[in-house]
Amino acid sequence: MTNLSPLTGSADEGAPLAGPDPDPSPGRRPRASGMRALVPTWSPKLATGLVLVLGIGLFGLFGPMLVGDPNAIDSMGMTSPSGDFWLGTTQTGQDVFAQLAHATRGSLQIGLLVGVLATLLSAVFGIIGGYVGGAIDEGFSLFSNVMLVIPGLPLVIVIAGFVPVQDRGWWTIGLVLAITSWAASARVLRAQTLSLRNRDYVAAARVAGEKRWRVVSVEILPNLLPLLASQFVFAIIAGILAEAGLSFLGLGASGSQTLGTMLYFAQNGFALQNEAWWWFVPPGAVIALFGCGLALINFSIDEIINPKLRVPKPPKGDAAEAIEVAVAPVPIEGAAAEAPAAPGVVRVEKRRDAVLTVKDLNVVYRTAQPVHAVKDVSITLGRGEILGLAGESGSGKTTLAYAINRLHRPPAEVASGSVTFHDRDGGDLDLLTLGDEELRRFRWAKLSMVFQGAMNSLNPVITINEQLDDVLTTHRPDMPRAERRARCEEVLHLVGVDPARLGSFPHELSGGMRQRVMIAMAMLLDPQVMIMDEPTTALDVVVQRGILREIIRLRDELGFAVVFITHDLPMLLELSDRIAVMRAGEIVEYAEADQIYDNPTHPYTRQLLESFPSLTGERGAFIRTGERTPR
């Protein structure tokens, strides 16, 4: 529907538009609710993976009991597969199939041994180090990093070279392989533990005085489980591969029979020269298929670790139909957008000079249970007006804002309605039917946005200058470099940020400064509309106030219109010209700010106003400065 279709987000990730109930609080618990989240979702990949792993596992477990003696020598050497010998025979007439069964068992055994040992080692060094921190972490981390950069196989080969053949047992090899292979996953686990430790909810648990082991086992370990599982799976693959390599070089456990030794004998029995593919293809294929099976299972585990990786399932046809009926779609009429808004909802007469008209807009999240996030919303934004959009979390205000600029991502979808932009130069643009390229040109040039997550809205790895400059090079390709630079400095100056900050990276700025940079960026192209989605929510009151003043001042100077979204109705009363109150996707009240202050008509508006604490006990005392900005 939009040009953003590849950027599908899944409903579970809680990204701004992925659910009808966007949760603005940073540092949310990443754990999906309930144990169901820890069970991989069924998928063809998982099924294939399980079939492969179980099949080969069973073959290794029971195969050796069912086949003949793998070492029995026969006079019939190097025969290709036949009824008697399913996979042919070796140079000395041994049954390749029988050998394969025994070798599979041997390889699985060693893989499992290495997997368990390596995972244990990595868990000890990674999780404990990562959580405890301090000198222990430094030491553990240094140790695992050193182990990591020392290449494993050469080390194993050297060790194996020193150990006489008769001493090279199954356990010795397993242990050596585990010791040389745990470090990578310890590092991953440590990084994850560190990141979990610094999440807000873990910090909260620590501040609350929870015991260390409890924090680790309740807050951190459950979040690490999928990662541990995936590391275990990888350790098994790595173990099997490393053992195979070692045995192929003739340095494996003495007397052992693994897929690697099979390949060793095949190589030394000139299987390749004789093109006896049946001898050396099956052992490698078993390793590859087993590894592939584990990797496929790992995909499903990865999707638990990182729900963003899931490809959202398209909704069932019926559900989509059902919502269509419920919505009772209104045909999109670009030209009719000028018509007065639906009666009953919009009580304010249409301004003479509107810049944005939203008419009967419906946005639906096409998930398994469709959610009608925006219902028949009609608003008109006057030129230079500040329109406040108030409502509780999940009332659909953010969804509405994003739909205006078509930034909503699937499964959100505009079911019906129209959004018309009335350009300063006179032309009207129907935003919902704009082509991809036209839409791209329209964005930011005429309508810019300051986001809810403005703290994270800056690209962390490039400088402020590059991010501002990007806008100019894209939208004003002919602008000379010096002019671009001057413009960037000018907008920073406008929002009260030292232009010397242009060379800074986002992490070098404070939260308030980053927000100001975002506002500066939004003004770069002198847009006619600016949508601000909770731009000050994450900031402290003093900074918040400073930025609000700035916004009003800039609006007065530059004359852009603002759609200001927040749950903070008292703030809007000070700031806006008109206010729309949203609830459950509908606009329940839409009036001048004064009117809402003096005489709110809808019970929900009154409820919202009353929900803000009053110091004096009288209604109206919630106004924080005590004075209304004259308007």
Partner 1 sequence: MRYYARKLGFYLVALWAALTLNFLIPRMMPGNPVDTLLIKLQQRGGSVGPDVRRSYELLLGADTGDPLFQQYAEYLGNMFRGELGVSVSAFPAPVTEVISQSLSWTIVLVGIATLLSFLVGVVLGTVVGWKRGSWLDSLVPATTVLSAVPYFWLALIFALVFSSSLGWFPRSGGYDVALATGWNYEFINSAVYHGFLPALTIVVSSVGGWLLGMRNMMVSTMSEDYILTAQAKGLRNRRIMTRYAARNAVLPSVAGFAISLGFVVSGSIVTEQVFSYPGIGSKLLQAVENSDYALMQGIFLVITIAVLGANLIVDLLYGLIDPRTRVEN
Which of the residues 544 through 603 are near partner 1 (CB under 8 A)? Answer: none
Q: Which among 573, 393, 610, 190 is positioned nearest to 602, based on CA atoms? A: 610
Stretch that binds partner 1, among 121-129, 138-146, 539-547, 574-582 (CB under 8 A): 138-146
Binding to partner 1 (CB under 8 A) within 79-118 occurs at none
Q: Smaller CB distance to partner 1: residue 423 or 598?
A: 423
Q: Smaller CB distance to partner 1: residue 58 or 288?
A: 288
- Asked if residue 411 has a cis previous peptide bond (ω within 30° of 0), the answer is yes
Please work out, in degrees rounded to the nearest 5, the angle formed at the alpha carbon of residue 446 by the alpha carbons of 444 and 447.
60
Residues 6+ apart with CB under 8 A from 153: 180, 242, 245, 246
Binding to partner 1 (CB under 8 A) within 295-324 occurs at 295-296, 299, 302, 306, 308-309, 311
Residues 6+ apart with CB under 8 A from 597: 573, 620, 628
Q: Smaller CB distance to partner 1: residue 459 or 611?
A: 459
C-beta separation of 383 from 353 below 8 A: yes
Token pair listed for 193:
């533990």
Binding pattern for the stretch 370-409 against partner 1, x by CB under 8 A and - elsewhere:
-----------------------------------x-x--
Q: How far apart are CA 165 and CA 156, in angstroms?
A: 14
Which of 35, 65, 149, 615 contacts partner 1 by CB under 8 A?
149
Stretch that binds partner 1, among 87-95, 238-246, 551-559, 580-588 (CB under 8 A): 238-246
Chain-centroid distance of CA 289 in Å reads: 30
Stretch that binds partner 1, among 146-154, 538-546, 558-566, 589-597 (CB under 8 A): 146-154
Residue type, 325: V
Q: How many H-runs (helices) and E-runs (strands) does the chain carry?
A: 22, 10
Instruction: Name the residue with tokens 């004789």.
Output: 274
Which of 9, 106, 174, 411 contacts partner 1 by CB under 8 A?
9
First to last CA, the chain: 41
Binding to partner 1 (CB under 8 A) within 424-463 occurs at 440-445, 448-449, 451, 453-454, 456-463
Minimum CB separation of residue 563 from partner 1 in Å reads 13
Minimum CB separation of residue 392 from partner 1 in Å reads 22
Q: How far apart are CA 16 and CA 401, in angstroms?
A: 11
Stretch that binds partner 1, among 34-42, 90-98, 234-242, 593-601 (CB under 8 A): 234-242
Minimum CB separation of residue 68 from partner 1 in Å reads 25
- Bridging pattern class, strands 586-592 and 578-583: antiparallel
Q: What is the DSSP string of 91-116?
A: TT--BHHHHHHHHHHHHHHHHHHHHH
C-beta separation of 262 from 67 below 8 A: no
Under rule CB under 8 A, residue 172 binds partner 1: no
Q: Smaller CB distance to partner 1: residue 396 or 570?
A: 396
C-beta separation of 259 from 244 below 8 A: yes
Minimum CB separation of residue 519 from partner 1 in Å reads 12
Q: How far apart are CA 180 and CA 132, in angstroms?
A: 24
Under rule CB under 8 A, residue 503 binds partner 1: no
Minimum CB separation of residue 536 from partner 1 in Å reads 16
Stretch that binds partner 1, among 90-98, 155-163, 328-336, 595-603 (CB under 8 A): 155-163
Under rule CB under 8 A, residue 187 binds partner 1: yes
Q: How far apart are CA 45 and CA 582, in angstroms?
A: 43
Under rule CB under 8 A, residue 145 binds partner 1: yes
Stretch that binds partner 1, among 79-87, 278-286, 343-351, 604-612 (CB under 8 A): 278-286
Q: Smaller CB distance to partner 1: residue 98 or 237?
A: 237
Instruction: Name the residue with tokens 């009260």.
Output: 496
Under rule CB under 8 A, residue 479 binds partner 1: no
Which of 33, 35, 167, 349 contacts partner 1 by CB under 8 A?
167
